[in-house]
């Protein structure tokens, strides 16, 4: 597996002798976004920060409004500091949750898939297209998971093609770190006619052996 960065992607320049493109497509928006969000539970941390920050910011202000006027005790920190601290956490939460969503939508616009008679090409990236080439001759495992009807995910290697679900992901603390934007796509995610493309990949792999 090889990855190259590219500002303007022309797949033809990556083709080797006697190699030709036999299929190309772009992902289905709805299921592509669902897959990436399910693979990155770190954005849920942002929701925690927003709730915690707003509570931390509003509670001191409510206490301040309800307090009778009088001299403040010497040495006590101003209530406004607690509000600023809470707003800081809420801002961090916004970046972690909604900021990541904008990056995923940007990645969607940079994503395209290509299949040749020897390799698979995955063009994707939030900061600009990155071309990942997969040699089908050396790929020991290819998996398919149907998302809805004929839309599905085809992944190469031992990656999980399924869209992760469940309330437990809100508490997946270990998943908050080291995922997200640095994670490259493991295959053709959210493509139409996935079963047909899976059969075509199997035929190519059989012909290369």
Per-residue pLDDT of the chain (209 residues; tens, 9 = 90+): 554 444 447 888 889 889 999 999 999 999 998 888 777 666 667 777 788 888 877 877 676 666 666 555 554 556 677 777 788 878 877 777 777 778 888 889 999 999 999 999 999 988 888 899 999 988 888 999 998 889 999 999 877 676 655 444 544 444 444 444 445 688 999 999 999 999 999 999 988 87
Is the Cα torsion angle 107, 160, 34, 170 positive or negative in sign?
A: negative
Task: Count Cβ atoms below 10 Å from residue 155 Cβ, excluding itself.
Answer: 19
Domain ranges of the chain: 2-208
Q: Using CB atoms within 10 A of its CB, is residue 77 exposed (0-12), middle (13-18) or buried (19+)?
A: exposed
Q: Which pTM value belongs to this model?
A: 0.71
- Contact status, residue 41 vs residue 169, Cβ threshold 8 Å: yes
């Amino acid at each position: 597996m090889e990855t190259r960065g590219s500002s303007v992607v022309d797949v033809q320049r990556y083709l080797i002798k006697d190699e030709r493109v036999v299929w190309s497509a772009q992902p289905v928006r709805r299921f592509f976004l669902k897959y990436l969000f399910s693979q990155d539970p770190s954005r849920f941390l942002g929701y925690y920060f927003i709730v915690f920050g707003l509570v931390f910011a509003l509670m001191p202000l409510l206490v301040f409004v309800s307090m009778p006027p009088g001299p403040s005790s010497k040495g006590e920190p101003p209530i406004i500091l607690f509000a600023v601290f809470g707003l800081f956490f809420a801002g961090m939460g916004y970046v972690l949750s909604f900021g990541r969503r904008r990056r995923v939508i940007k990645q969607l616009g940079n994503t395209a898939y290509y299949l040749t008679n020897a390799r698979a090409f995955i063009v994707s990236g939030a900061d600009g297209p990155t071309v990942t080439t997969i040699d089908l001759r050396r790929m020991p495992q290819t998996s398919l998971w149907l998302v809805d009807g004929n839309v599905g995910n085809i992944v190469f290697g031992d990656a999980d093609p399924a869209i992760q679900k469940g309330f437990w992901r809100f508490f997946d603390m270990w998943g908050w770190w080291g995922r997200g934007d640095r994670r490259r796509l493991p295959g053709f995610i959210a493509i139409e006619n996935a079963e047909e493309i899976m059969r075509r990949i199997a035929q190519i792999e059989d012909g290369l052996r």
